[in-house]
Amino acid sequence: WKVRALTSQRGLKGSGPSGGGGVPGGPSFSYSFQGDPHAIFAEFFGGRSPFDQFFPRNGGGPDGENMDTDDPFARFGMGGSGMGGFPRSFSTGMGGGGMGGQMVEKHQDPPVLHDLRVTLEEVFSGCTKRMKISHKRLNADRRTTRMEDKILEVEIKKGWKEGTKVTFPKEGDETPTNIPADVVFVVKDKPHPVFRRDGSDIVYPAKVSLREALCGCTVNAPTLDGRTVAVTTGDVVHPGMKRRITGEGLPLPKRPDRRGDLLVEYQVAFPERLSQSAKETIAQVLPP
């Protein structure tokens, strides 16, 4: 409080022109604040510290306690490390809301999830999906918002499994009080008219008649790249039996130069009805 009082008195004396603020005819001067409390004391007391006349610089205090009065501001945190000689607490408090204001801590919103549907052909060869999103963005005043459209390109790699996530950081809504959420696309398989996916394998349900199942048959199984593979069996086929064709499935996610398998899954079509003669013939042929 003493520093403020002294500064105020000096300011009053030197604030106007000659004689304007003091005694008429008296001496006049002007003073400019330098932002450094040491300069104020040097001006007022003619030295760095006003306490030198009371306490020796390297001597003991009244209670025999060592006192270092070289810098009277040291114990108050008013060294030169602050802004303009002011305490650190002032300079660090000027961030968000002016002197003494506090910075508002922002938190990021939870991720925004979107399903991204892909076909088996797209997973087989890889592709790029262009996804349009609409999100809020701050205007120049950093207080109001506007809606903005943006195109995000999602690169689907060969063999990606269902559930693979692609993240676009901070593409969610932006407001003055938040950190925008991440936008996450989750890969989902579209239903296929021919195949069913099983990891990196694909399953082809092959329908065969009861006669073919009992007497043997050949199935022409299609592939994802447009070819057909002939699968022949002479054994009795029971419903749900599978034949594996190596290397005709989807690329492996971590080894796209290698592929999974094509599984031919037999589905036996039983007749809805049989004539009496057919029943008698089958009864004679088939074992009990």
- pLDDT at residue number 48: 54
Alpha carbons 5 and 2: distance in angstroms, whole number: 5
10-residue stretch averages of pLDDT, the chain, 288 residues long: 39 44 49 57 58 52 46 48 42 42 81 97 96 96 96 96 96 96 97 96 95 93 95 91 96 95 95 87 82
Beta strands 201-209 and 196-198 are antiparallel
Cut 0.75: pTM above it: no
Nearest to 53 by CA among 41, 37, 63, 35: 41
Residues in CB range of 106: below 8 A, 6 or more apart? 177, 178, 179
- pLDDT at residue number 56: 52
Alpha carbons 7 and 49: distance in angstroms, whole number: 16
The single residue listed with the structure tokens 């689907």 is: 156
- pLDDT at residue number 102: 61
Fold adopted by 196-269: HSP40/DNAj peptide-binding domain (2.60.260)
The ranges assigned to domains in the chain are 2-92, 107-189, 196-269
- The superfamily (CATH) of domain 107-189 is Urease metallochaperone UreE, N-terminal domain (2.60.260.20)
> Hey, do 107-189 and 196-269 end up sharing a CATH topology, with the first three levels equal?
yes
CB-based burial label for 95 (10 Å; 0-12, 13-18, 19+):
exposed
- Angle of CA points 265, 270, 276, to nearest 5°: 160
